[in-house]
Amino acid sequence: MFLLTGGKPQHTVNQFKNIGNQLKQRLGGEEASLLLSRSVYLISIGVNDYSSTTKGDSKQYRSMIIGNLTSVAIYKMGGRKFSFVALPPLGCLPSTKAQNARNKTNHEASCREDSTALVQEHNKAVSKNLDKLEKQLKGFMHSFFDFYTTFIDKICTTILCQSMNSSSLWEEEVSCNTNNNKAALFVFGDSLYDPGNNNYISTTNTNFQANFRPYGESFFTQPTGRSSDGRLIPDFICEYARLPIIPPYLKPGKHHFVYGANFASGGAGALDETFPGLVVNLNTQLNQFKNVANQLKQQLGDEEASDLLSQSVYMFSIGGNDYFSPTQQSYTQEQYRSMITGNLTSVIRAIYKTGGRKFSFITLPPLGCWPSIKAQNAANKTYSGDFCNKDLAALVQEHSKAVSEKLKKLEKALEGFKYSVFDFHTTFNDRMINPSKYGFKNGDSACCGSGPYRGVNSCGGMRGIKDYELCENASEYLFFDYTHPSEAAYQQLAKLMWEGSSSVTAPYNLKSFFHLSKLS
């Protein structure tokens, strides 16, 4: 194997010629020729040429580089098996981004687009020329490794979505869209989706906050405001869709909304009357989205912003908290359910009017058997046996059924409207009943909390009860605290939402939403 890389190509070839002559002297002409023809020639070259200040016309300069690379000197000496690597994403390397930051060109976290375009044209031209050589030169064989795509994939999925272990990293928004996928992710809802918006609400009530230890420690190593030991469903969907992890909308600082925004608020409901003053209700989240849409139009122009909004995915987790609000006592169950689903429908229509077409929903989880409910029932000695609240369980099912009917009507009424409903209730309930089947040791008690089932809201000792218990390994538990799943559970659910069959997510899964720009 001969490795030809770095320096000037002609010098490298001359060095190889010297080695070829030495081999002939040592082995004899016949044996040396046999060795050279069977050898593999690894070539990595071109990166430094594009760092030169003598580029001139890019097309002419590229032809010079490739012309010199594809000269057949090594072939004439006996070489037949050649290995090449595509140029890496030079515009996204730390050195380039650091220079952009110093010169205040592009955003410091963004890739330099002109360098990226140069590299892509170079790689395309090299591949085309190698194909020509294989047709022209007898016995010539080549391998061309797509360094560019594989490396930028690692930037997207590994650095951004898997290894962000500090707040400065996980909140950074970096462009990773290598497949020309223009779909962003806009998230609405409650604590199942809240990445920390409640950190920025002025209140002394901590019941709907999770910005203290041990929240977040399994992945982020510190609390972020997520009500779990690590990531939530939207974080995993970002990873699968090759988007950066989307930070809280309310977090101060500059946000690049071309990747989407997360408006979710722990404790929020579809109704304004659900925990007012303590959470960001759904109507307020809608207004925040409208502000983002206007900013995108100013930033990108009407046409490009409209294209982005129509291809984007809109995720919802909402409704559960409404059934814990004192407001429901003033209405019949049917009236109250109609109010919740009616407001949700009006929000969907407003987003549709703004340009949204692809919507993601989850059924309400089995709230009647949540650790918080069972702990309360055990303490009060109500609903004996498994201590699940049967009335609440039935109410949840009726709600999800009503939402499904609303979505079917919207699909018929709104042209281009597409939706996905993930059966959170059934999939999670099965994990509660059969935890070992899914890799969990415990499916009914929380990892962190106190009281029966660790269902008392005391995790972290910041909600009026200082003493609490904490398990050793949160990934062994389906629940992390009194009412929120663990990161391990969220990951399993997100995977089903992303690529699950129609038996769990229908009529579309999220993968189809992100990978098809237009659904027929």
Residue 256: active-site member: no
User: Rounded mean pLDDT of 96-119?
Assistant: 61
Structure tokens at 29: 């002409």
Q: In the predicted model, is pLDDT for residue 4 greater than 80?
A: no
User: What are φ and ψ of residue 25, in 5° steps?
Assistant: -70, -40
H/E run at residue 354: helix 333-354
**CB of 405 within 8 A of CB of 512?**
no
**CB of 232 within 8 A of CB of 195?**
yes
In the set 194, 229, 322, 481, the catalytic residue is: 481
Cα separations in angstroms, 196 against 46, 266, 447, 468: 45, 8, 21, 22
Distance (Å, whole) CA 483 – CA 192: 10
DSSP string, 30-69: HHHHHHHHH-EEEEE--TGGGGSS---SHHHHHHHHHHHH
DSSP string, 180-193: -----EEEEESTTT
| pLDDT > 90: percent of the chain | 60
Cβ-proximal residues to 190 (8 Å cutoff; 6+ apart), any chain = 264, 265, 266, 267, 268, 269, 317, 318, 320, 321
**CB of 520 within 8 A of CB of 186?**
no
**CB of 431 within 8 A of CB of 440?**
yes
Q: In the predicted model, is pLDDT for residue 370 greater than 50?
A: yes
Residue 372: active-site member: no
pLDDT for 149: 63
112 band by pLDDT with thresholds 50, 70 and 90: low
128 band by pLDDT with thresholds 50, 70 and 90: confident
User: Rounded mean pLDDT of 388-416?
Assistant: 96
User: Rounded mean pLDDT of 70-86?
Assistant: 85
Residue 310: active-site member: no
203 band by pLDDT with thresholds 50, 70 and 90: confident
Distance (Å, whole) CA 243 – CA 156: 7
* Long-range contacts of the stretch 273-276 (C-beta < 8 A, 24+): 273/325, 273/327, 274/321, 274/322, 274/325, 274/327, 275/208, 275/321, 275/325
518 band by pLDDT with thresholds 50, 70 and 90: very low
Higher pLDDT, 162 or 403: 403
Helices (H), 142-187: 147-154, 167-170
In the set 175, 191, 360, 458, the catalytic residue is: 191
User: Rounded mean pLDDT of 37-66?
Assistant: 77
pLDDT tens for 465-493 read 999 999 999 999 999 999 999 999 999 99
Cβ-proximal residues to 239 (8 Å cutoff; 6+ apart), any chain = 157, 161, 162, 245
pLDDT for 5: 63
Higher pLDDT, 150 or 438: 438
Phi-psi category of residue 138: left, alpha or beta, with phi > 0 → left and psi -120 to 50 → alpha: beta
In the set 142, 255, 399, 484, the catalytic residue is: 484
Bridge-based pairing of strands 442-446 and 477-479 is parallel
Distance (Å, whole) CA 160 – CA 154: 9
pLDDT for 3: 62
Q: In the predicted model, is pLDDT for residue 106 greater than 70?
A: no
Q: In the predicted model, is pLDDT for residue 105 greater than 50?
A: yes
H/E run at residue 19: helix 9-27
103 band by pLDDT with thresholds 50, 70 and 90: low
134 band by pLDDT with thresholds 50, 70 and 90: confident
pLDDT for 401: 97
- Mean pLDDT of the chain, nearest integer: 87
User: Rounded mean pLDDT of 39-64?
Assistant: 76
* Long-range contacts of the stretch 136-141 (C-beta < 8 A, 24+): 137/72, 137/75, 139/37, 139/80, 140/75, 140/80, 140/82, 141/80, 141/81, 141/82
436 band by pLDDT with thresholds 50, 70 and 90: very high
Q: In the predicted model, is pLDDT for residue 162 greater than 50?
A: no
Structure tokens at 21: 């002559």
Q: In the predicted model, is pLDDT for residue 520 greater than 50?
A: no
pTM over 0.85: no
**CB of 145 within 8 A of CB of 44?**
no
Distance (Å, whole) CA 49 – CA 67: 13
pLDDT tens for 271-295 read 999 999 999 999 999 999 999 999 9
